[in-house]
Amino acid sequence: MFIKGQFRQSEQLALMFQAVEAARNGVVITDPVQPDNPIIYTNPAFTDITGYAADEILGQNCRFLQGEDRAQPALNDVRLAIKEGRDVTAILRNYRKDGRRFFNELTISPVRNDRGKLVAFVGIQNDITARIEAEERISDFYSIVSHELRTPIAKIKSSLAVIADGEAGPVSDSVRRFVDISIKAADSLWRLLENILDFKKLESGKFFLLRQRLQLAQLVESAVVEFQPVADAADVALKFHRLASPTVDADGQRIVQVLENLLSNAVKFSRSGSEVNVKVLSHGAEWARVEVIDSGGGIAAADISKLFGKFQQLELPDKRTRGGTGLGLAVCKAIIEAHGGRVGVESELGRGSTFWFELPSCTSVGRTSVTDS
């Protein structure tokens, strides 16, 4: 035993027993030597979680908590681990004495004596129902966003485009100005929606890349030209610099998505009258690099590590934020890493920021999911 201090063995055992009894996680010990591996110990937290009294638990196999809900894939992992006498962690649907379902994050560990013989299993029960239910609510939200918002936003965008093009009749300059503002707002809302949905795909492993051989500089230059009206509206000069012409195997649409996110942030945080520079260059023989350089307020060193996490938004030096979901950079990171690339930022408060990403030059062509990359 490894308990610091001058404790006799009996005192150590008493202390360990008291600690297990006081634990907030449910703890059970089972005896694999006896038929059906029955529970021989349960702590108070386990009875609180399940609603069963100790005398209703002792002597039973833990499967009684699943009731009739036995067709759970995770149960196969648990059974195999017990059969092989090894550790396992699984999430199971369990049922309290009153019939209410709860989600149990179960960790099982074997206990062996000095000769290596298996003498017991220790099961640690963690009720994660609140977490699972929150994740289900988020999943439902994604579903609503996907089915209920995409169509009306698309209709708004197309209707505004018809008005702006004059197809619905003559439009005065003042009306056209408001239409242009509305189009930009709709485009921004569409990008936010796409970031939300893409992040859900990334988390579920359903995000795919359609790779092809691309001239990176040509792709980036076209994206910069397309983004120019947004920069013009913010009175920010957007400049492209072709310092190399590397070839990459990539999903061009997704790379443009990354670049648009970086450009949007750069313009958003730049001062009126400033400029944003976009460079394409080679980083050694193996990497193609894109840099988006702004002259905005910069980022504190302590905040840089937070940038590419999900739902992260940093305050500006004047304590304001500029809106958004906090998912854009997290999506960028996932897309670039799915290509086998890397992404980062170099910044200093008051001196602007350089966001960059690198892609392997001329990798194999194929269709790859983010989970395979």
pLDDT tens digits for range 151-193: 888 888 888 888 888 887 888 888 888 888 888 788 878 877 7
- Dist. CA 158–CA 156, nearest whole Å: 6
Tens digits of per-residue pLDDT, 16-58? 889 999 999 999 999 999 999 999 999 999 999 999 999 999 9
The CA-atom distances, in angstroms, between 340 and each of 53, 211, 244, 246, 272 are: 54, 12, 20, 16, 36
What is the residue type of 161? A
- Dist. CA 281–CA 300, nearest whole Å: 26
Q: Can you give the pLDDT at residue 243?
A: 94
| 50 & 193 share domain | no
Residue 294 lies in a domain: yes
Which two structure tokens, joined as six digits, stand for 79? 């059974």
Please state the domain count of the chain: 3
Kindly report whether the global pTM for this prediction surpasses the value 0.75.
no
Residue 1 lies in a domain: no
| 52 & 153 share domain | no
**How many beta carbons lie within 10 A of that of residue 250, not counting itself?**
28
* Radius of gyration for the alpha carbons in the chain, expressed in angstroms and rounded: 29
Reduce the DSSP state of residue 171 to 3 states and report it.
coil
**What is the percent of the chain with per-residue pLDDT over 70, rounded to a whole number?**
88
Residue 3 lies in a domain: no
**Among residues 187, 204, 221, which one ends one of the domains?**
204
Q: Report the candidate in 292, 276, 274, 284 with the shortest Cα–Cα distance to residue 220.
A: 292
**Among residues 175, 204, 233, which one ends one of the domains?**
204
For 108, the enclosing helix (H) or strand (E) is strand 101-112
| 183 & 219 share domain | no
Q: Can you give the pLDDT at residue 319?
A: 41
102: β partners: 94
The residue range of the domain holding 151 is 132-204
Stronger pLDDT, 231 or 363, i.e. the higher one? 231
Tens digits of per-residue pLDDT, 67-123? 999 999 999 999 999 999 999 999 999 999 999 999 999 999 999 999 999 999 999
**Among residues 171, 204, 237, which one ends one of the domains?**
204
CATH classification at residue 298 = 3.30.565.10
Reduce the DSSP state of residue 345 to 3 states and report it.
strand
- Dist. CA 78–CA 96, nearest whole Å: 20
Q: Can you give the pLDDT at residue 6?
A: 56
Residue 24 lies in a domain: yes
**Mean pLDDT value across residues 277-287:** 91
* Inter-residue contact 321 to 311 (CB < 8 Å): no
- Dist. CA 187–CA 235, nearest whole Å: 18
- Dist. CA 326–CA 307, nearest whole Å: 9
